[in-house]
Structures are given as C-alpha cells and as structure tokens.
Structure 1
Amino acid sequence: MARRAIGANRLPMSEKRRISFLGLGVMGGPIARHLARAGHELTIYNRTPERRERWQARNPELSVRVASSPADAAEGAEVVITCVGNDDDLSDVVLGPNGVFRSLKRGGLFIDHTTASARIARQIAVEARDLQVHCVDAPMTGSQIGAEEGRLTLMCGGRPDAIAAAMPVFEAYTRRVVHIGRAGAGQTAKMANQICIAGIVAGLSEAMRFAQASHLDTDKVYEAISGGAAQSWQMDNRWKTMAADEFDFGFAVDWMRKDLGLAMDEGRGLGVSLPITALVNQFYAEVQAIGGGRLDTSALVRRLPLPGKRK
C-alpha cells in the first residue's frame, strides 16, 4: 500500500503537463487554479458556462484554453481530471457520447476527484483498462479551505502504476496522498470518512444545545474541552460558527445526504449495518425540510430547538 505525506519528503516539481480539468465548483475551481499556477498547460471545461466564466473572472492572470465539450477537453491532453457532482454527471462527462474517453489518448492519465459510488469508479476503471489509459479514483478530504490552500488529502483507488503516474500532478494541491487499494477503494474510503463526520457533527450539535441550555459560555466550553479527547476538526472549525448560528459556507447538507446515501447503498451490498449513519441521514433530511439544504453540514444543530424556544 503506497502512502505519501507531502512535506519533508516532497518530490521535486515535475515537468509540466498538458492537463484538462472538468468541473470548476467549490473544490474543483481552486484545484484548477493551483495546476495553472504550477505552470501546467491547462484546459478547462464546465457544463454550465456561467461557472467557468466566474472562474476566469476571478483568475484573470491565468492563461487557459476553454474546451467546448469533455471530448474536446481530452483532445491532446496528457492528463484529464474530473470533479463533478454525482454518478450521473461523471458517467456523462467520461463515458457519454461526447465524453472524455472518446478522445483521451492511449497511455494518458485519468483522475477523478468526484465523491461518487465505488460502482461507477470500477466501471470507469474497466473502460480505461480497455483503452490502455491509467485511471485513479481519488476523492478528497480537507474542506474548501484545504482546496484553496492546496492542502487536500486524497484517498486513491487504482493500479500502482496509475498512482505513480498521478503523484507528480497531485503535488500542486495536496499535502497527503494515500493509495487505499484497487479501483473503487478510494471511493469506499471516502464513504468511511463521511460516516465519521456525520456522527461527529451530530454529537457536536447536541453538545452545543446542551451547553446553551445550561447557560454556559460556549467560548469557555470550547476552551475547556477542545484540548482533550472530545477535540475534532469539526469542533475546531465549526463550534464558534454553530454558536453564532452561521452556516453560509462549507460543505452543503445536500451533498452530505448524497454521500451518506452512497455509504448506505454500499453497506447494504456488503451486508454491513449502519444505524447511526441512517439516523443522521434522516436528521439531515429534517434540515433540508426547513430550507437548509445549501447550508454547511454544521447546520444540523438547527434541527434542535434553541433553549427556551419551540422547534
């Protein structure tokens, strides 16, 4: 199992590549920017032109080629990277009649950063093998802040030679890359990641309301408990904003529900019971029902009534 933490053992910067990046969303947009700033010859594509235009307006100093379709983006590229919404989006831009695999050359490298099912990752890997294309499923963790700062962690599935080919590309925007196993393993590891986060946020939400009902200073509570066993990334980055009822940022509830659905589907196929995951998924459905689908996942606390107020 290959594992690399970028830092003291950082590899020297690789030679510049012809890279095409598809999907300029909250996570994909910053990654594309890091690749262009690293000196790679970048082509971009987004299914909604408005988002691509916003990306260009925010990065006017970057010279990029704009592709008219996924197939056009892959034409002449050495590396194609996707970061889209879900399985259907991914299937369309990669396997569709005008998809990436229509024109990505033999010996090329395909990397997917979408959080998707292990099933679609394995399907794409089979198609890539038949086309003699290297293929890596590489979902990420590290939040929007990590993407902006180039400090993402990737959990990768694929053949060792494909991972080795991708490593120099990853340098531009990651701090850690872990090769989990064969095709689809990266996606399955990401499901485990989301299961952990969901349970932590649920506990954090209850702790917040408990502290507020007890009329405690939530800043003091954080100071007291964040240095011990209760500490987590979610606590360090979301406790204060939860106390302030601020959620207009970060990873959306809608996307968390999609991810938890993937985990539960995979769990059913494995014969694994995920009762806490299923429960928190329903809690998030309540947040969606009150209009919080686009809020950060820490908005889970909103399903619990404030002390002294009805829900």
Structure 2
Amino acid sequence: TFEKMLPVLTMMGRRILHTGDLGSASVLKVMTNYLATVNLISVCEALVTSKAAGMDLNTTFEAIKISSGNSFVHETESQVILNGSRDISFTMDLVLKDIGLFQEIAETHGVPLEISPLINKIFADGIERFGSRELSPNIIKRLEEATGLDITAPGFPTEMEDDEPEEPGYEIVPQGRA
C-alpha cells in the first residue's frame, strides 16, 4: 500500500502525492506537462513582445520573476532561452507527444478545449521547421524569425539550475483532506 511505500518514496523524491487509482498519476503528469508547455509558449510571447517594445530583457526577466506572471517555467526555462543555449534536455517531439495525450484525454471525456489545439498546432509547426529533436525552448525561434529579433541577454546560465535545497522528502496531503 501507499503507506508502506511512503518511507521509500520520501528517500527518492522531495514531495510525494498519492494520486489515487492506478493510472491517475499518468493523467496528472500529462496535465502538468501540458501546463508547462502553455506556460513556455506564453513566456516566449512575453519575451519577444517585451524586446519588440524596446524593453531590456534582463529587466524583463526580473520584472516577471517578481510579479503575478512568475512561474517555475519562467524561472528556469527563460534563463536558458535568454542565454541562447535553450538546453533543457527536452525536445519538441516529446512535447508534442505529451500535449497530444492531453488533447486525447480531453476529447475522450468530451471537454471542448480551445488553447490545446492551438498549442498542438504551434509545436507541429515548430517540428516541421526545426526538426523533431530540436530543443523545446527553441519554439521561440518561430517568433524570432517572424520579428527578426534575437531574444538573448547576458548573464544567464547555459543549463537550468536546481537551487532548491536538498531535504528529506515528505507527503503532500491535498487541501480539504488534512
């Protein structure tokens, strides 16, 4: 049972959430990957629009980081986008697989999505232009090409850095169940 596995799981991961029946974790993983992808596209659009409006990208990064627009994707992927390496060790074909699975789940359950089909179309176009094994943050190249802008800035790392302190893992209990 989950309770018996919890001590082992907390040694392997930082936050442990019992998601329910077999397969429920897979659905949630697809959903969270979809959200990260939507956020990546919105971050790309924000960075390109800021540059087009004449904003300094270092200042833009910090403004987003301290605002309501901040996110894990911004704090990590924006840095490697601005560095120019765009290296998160995740490729466009993997993104398209995940967001396609999200779309399938929604369709299976009769959910009429509007953003998901557009995100799927954007990444399909990215793969057609740049190849399936292109790093996923390079989806920004679609906007760089359309605008002629270079979305890089000095002082950002070449790889995503995990600065979360090491600590023993612990169980997350959903709100309303504590």
Task: Name the TM-score, length of structure 1 as normaliser.
Answer: 0.45
Question: 2:17: which partner in 1?
Answer: 178
Number of residue pairs matched by the alignment: 149
Contact 1:249 1:295 in 2 (8 A): no
Q: 1:257 to 1:308 in 2, by over 3 A?
A: closer
Q: Which has the higher helix share?
A: 2
- CA–CA distance in 1 between the matches of 2:147 and 2:134? 24
Distance apart, 1:306 and its partner CA: 4.6
Letter in 2 for 1:275: E
Question: 1:44: which partner in 2?
Answer: none
Q: Secondary structure at the match of 2:111?
A: coil
Q: Bigger radius of gyration, 1 or 2?
A: 1
Q: Secondary structure at the match of 2:41?
A: helix
Letter in 2 for 1:205: C
- CA–CA distance in 2 between the matches of 1:274 and 1:308? 29
- CA–CA distance in 1 between the matches of 2:9 and 2:64? 36
Alignment identity in percent?
23
Task: Name the TM-score, length of structure 2 as normaliser.
Answer: 0.75
Distance apart, 1:276 and its partner CA: 0.8
| Aligned residue among 103, 117, 138 for 1:264 | 103
Per-residue displacement from partner, 1:232-272 (whole Å, max 9, x unpaired)?
A: 01111122321233223332221111111111111111111
1:246 pairs with 2:111: no
Question: 2:31: which partner in 1?
Answer: 192
Contact 1:260 1:281 in 2 (8 A): yes
Higher relative contact order (CA 8 A, sep 6+): 2
- CA–CA distance in 2 between the matches of 1:303 and 1:269? 31
Question: 2:69: which partner in 1?
Answer: 230
Q: Which has the higher strand share?
A: 1
Q: Secondary structure at the match of 1:271?
A: coil
Letter in 1 for 2:45: E
Q: Secondary structure at the match of 2:19?
A: strand
Larger displacement relative to structure 2 (215-224 or 243-252): 243-252
